[in-house]
């Protein structure tokens, strides 16, 4: 799977700084996999063989995108994977609001994906009445803002060539002045 480091410039988000992603995690229903990204000789087309490769993954920073590949064993069964990561600079600060614009699934897939469930955990002290969210992609996608500081995004099936992304407007005062000043570098 690939994750773009930059937003498509045609989306007019006011962001021009690439995302900084770390703390990668890949898990299935039973185990979390071992990260082999530290091996400098890894290549995108690497195909590990044997039992040693099972339940491992690696991430390659390809400048414009991150490439994630994981290895598992399955025999006539369905498997679900959970991909986790930390985006250090996910928020774009504007003059009057803070914005998260994130593409959960890109449109490069040639197979149907789903079901897809995303839980966005917001800061505990956020004012939910001043928080707005939009979901872009398939028309049957679902979005709900819980009483807890969480937003849920889901879709049962994502057709090939279709993206699944969200835009969330957050109150600017959710973030410290220091965070806003650091985050504003390279924006707007």
pLDDT in tens, 31-76: 999 998 876 555 566 655 455 678 999 998 888 889 999 999 889 9
Higher-scoring residue by pLDDT: 180, 135: 135
- 56 burial class (0-12, 13-18, 19+ CB within 10 angstroms)? middle
Name 170's Cβ contacts closer than 8 Å, sequence gap at least 6: 91, 97, 98, 99, 100, 122, 126, 130, 131
The model's pTM? 0.76
Strand 56-61 and strand 34-35: pairing? parallel
Give yes or no for a contact between 158 and 138, defined as CB atoms under 8 angstroms apart.
yes
119-166 pLDDT, tens digit per residue, is 888 888 888 889 999 999 999 999 998 878 899 999 999 999 999 999
The pair of three-digit structure tokens given for residue 85, joined into one six-digit string: 């990561």
Of 25-29, 51-55, 94-98, 100-104, which one has max mean pLDDT?
Answer: 25-29
């Amino acid at each position: 799977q690939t994750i773009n480091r930059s937003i498509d410039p045609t989306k007019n988000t006011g962001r021009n700084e690439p995302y900084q992603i770390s703390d990668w995690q890949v898990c299935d229903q039973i185990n979390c996999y071992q990260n082999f990204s530290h091996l400098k000789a890894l290549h995108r087309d690497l195909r590990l063989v044997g039992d040693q490769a099972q339940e491992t993954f690696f991430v390659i920073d390809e400048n414009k995108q991150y490439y994630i590949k994981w290895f598992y064993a399955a025999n006539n069964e369905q498997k679900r994977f959970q991909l986790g990561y930390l985006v250090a600079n996910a928020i774009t600060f504007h003059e009057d609001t803070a914005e998260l614009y994130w593409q959960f699934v890109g449109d490069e897939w040639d197979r149907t994906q789903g079901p897809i469930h995303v839980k966005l955990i917001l800061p505990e002290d956020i004012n939910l009445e001043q928080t707005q969210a939009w979901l872009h992609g398939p028309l049957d996608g679902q979005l709900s803002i819980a009483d807890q500081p969480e937003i849920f995004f889901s879709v049962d099936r994502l057709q090939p060539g279709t993206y699944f992304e969200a835009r969330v407007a957050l109150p600017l005062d959710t973030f410290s002045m220091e965070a806003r000043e650091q985050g504003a570098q390279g924006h707007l």
